[in-house]
Amino acid sequence: MNFVRKVWAIVAKDVVAEFHSREVVSAMLVFAVLATLVFSFALDLRGDVARVAAPGILWVTVAFAGTLGLSRSLAREQQSGCIDGLLLAPMDRSVIFFGKAIGNLVFMVVVEVMLLPLCAVLFDVPLLQAGVLIVMGLGTAGYAAIGTLLAGIAVNTRAREVMLPVLLLPLAVPVLIASVRAVSGLLEGGTLADVGSWIGLLVAYDVIVVVVSMLVFGYVLEE
């Protein structure tokens, strides 16, 4: 139970700090909205074309905005050497992993909550349905988990934040394909059962990625 309490303490700390400074969510949100608008103009998205492209644009936007948030969130621990504060505490390294990953998930979800209605309106697609929300949740969870691990690496390289998309996107291919296909299927009137295999893939990805990231995260934090 101590484990859960400490993970929760880290998540709460990130949420409160974000509440005060608003730097992570605002960066993600501004980027996400801008990207969505730019896509709409550049691809001249109207009518049927918009409806077909919507899930893809939504996820590309979430993915790139996500890298911004993930970087910022890890960079915050580097300020004032706070990561040492976490490493000094008497707890397993995995507490830090889950605390940061769940915090990152929360931030991404907050941005998605604002992005979904926007896309629903712009592209005229019924995004606000339970099935879509579930898919978004599963996809974001896997992305946040592996993203937290890779952000931990990226933030310690010469190229810093620029490194994260390079590392993350090739590994996020399963999430991107599965989530976009699943949302697409749901928008065309399918049920969750119809997109069941995609959801299965997302769940498998989430489980595998969370377990592996948790196991190796300690090696990333070492000096």
Partner 1 sequence: MAKKGDFVGLFLILSSAAAILLALTMIFIYAPREAVMGDVQRIFYFHVASAWVGFFAFFVTFLAGIGYLAGGGRRWDSVASSSAEIGLTFIAMTVITGALWARPVWGVYWTWEPRLTISAVQLLVYVAYGMLRVSVEEPERRARFAAVYGIVAFVTVPLSWFAIRWWRSIHPDILTGGEEMSITPRMAHTLLVSLAAFTLLYVALLRQRVRLERLGDALAYLRSRFERLPR
Partner 2 sequence: MIQVRDLSKSFGPRKALDRVCLSIGAGECVALMGPNGAGKTTLLRILASLSRPTSGTVHVAGLDPRRDGAEVGRRIGFLSHQTLLYDDLTAEQNLRFYAHLYDLGAASQRVDELLKRVGLDVRRGDRVRALSRGMQQRLAVARAILHHPQVLLLDEPFAGLDLQAVQALASLLEELVEEDCTILMATHSLERGLALGRRVIVLKQGSIVYDRPREVIDSTVFAESYRALTT
How many helices and strands, by DSSP H and E, does the chain display? 9, 0
Query: Closest Cα to residue 125, out of 137, 136, 116, 112?
Result: 116
Please give the Cα distance from 178 to 171 (Å, whole number).
Answer: 13
Residue 79 interacts with partner 2 (CB under 8 A)? Answer: yes
Among 51, 56, 60, 92, binds partner 2 (CB under 8 A): 92
Measure the CA–CA gap between 94 and 92, rounded to whole angstroms: 5
Residue in 118, 122, 153, 192 binding partner 1, rule: CB under 8 A:
153
Q: Which of 137, 218 has the CB closer to partner 1?
A: 218
Q: Which does 6 bind (CB under 5 to 8 A by kind): partner 1, partner 2, none?
A: partner 2
Site string for partner 2, 16-55 (x = CB under 8 A): xxx-xx----------------------------------
Q: Which residues contact 85 (CB under 8 A, 6 or more apart)?
A: none
Task: Decide if 62 contacts 104 (C-beta within 8 A).
Answer: no
90 binds partner 2 (CB under 8 A): yes
Instruction: Find the part of the chain contacting partner 1 (CB under 8 A) among 24-32, 38-46, 130-138, 202-210.
Output: 202-210
Of 160, 162, 146, 143, the C-alpha closest to 213 is 146
CB 94 within 8 A of CB 86: no
Distance CA 130, CA 127 (A): 9
Size of residue set near partner 2 by CB under 8 A: 26
Query: Per CB under 8 A, which region of 16-24, 60-68, 102-110, 151-159 contacts partner 1?
Result: 151-159
CB of 53 closer than 8 Å to CB of 123: yes
Write out the residues near partner 2 by the rule CB under 8 A: 2, 5-6, 9, 13, 16-18, 20-21, 76, 79-82, 84-92, 222-223
Write out the residues near partner 1 by the rule CB under 8 A: 146, 149-150, 153, 156-159, 163, 166-167, 169-171, 173-174, 177-178, 181, 197-198, 201, 204-205, 208-209, 212-213, 216, 219-220, 222
